Amino acid sequence: MEVKKALKRDIEEIAKIFHIESAKEPYLQKRTYKEAIKTINYHFRKADIYNVVIDNKIVGFIIVRLRYSNKDLYIDEFWLRSNYQRKGIGRYLMSFVEGKYKKMGVKSITLISGKKPGAAFGFYKKLKFKIVDNLVLMKRVLG
């Protein structure tokens, strides 16, 4: 298992993972493969993408970007193929990213996760992420 910085040629495989895994319970994100490609292309230009590779196959990825004078690392997306979850791979990828950016002076990592009991929320709690009480996600539906 190794972590590699994503290359342009990896975009389609990353988008495939994003499209398939984000459509599953509990996320149920409805996006086409074409939309997934567009999203990953956008992040490829604006953020850092790292793949976790096993036997020359991309099995997951994380998209991160620096904020607040490069002191906070924001996780935009973090996905593993479902058959590779709960095997320590996500923890390995997170540890890689944490170590790399800590050396660069990053002091914190921020992300948004759904509150529904699910693999992602539990995973972040195990990694000692805390709920930030002074932040609220707000939404207004335009009609």
Which segments of the chain are extended strands (E)? 2-5, 48-54, 57-67, 72-80, 108-110
Whole-model pTM: value is 0.90
Phi, psi of 17 (to 5 degrees): -60, -45
pLDDT in tens, 39-63: 999 999 999 999 999 999 999 999 9
Between 97 and 133, the higher pLDDT residue: 97
pLDDT in tens, 71-84: 999 999 999 999 99
* Residue 108 pLDDT > 90: yes
Helix (H) or strand (E) segment spanning residue 134? none
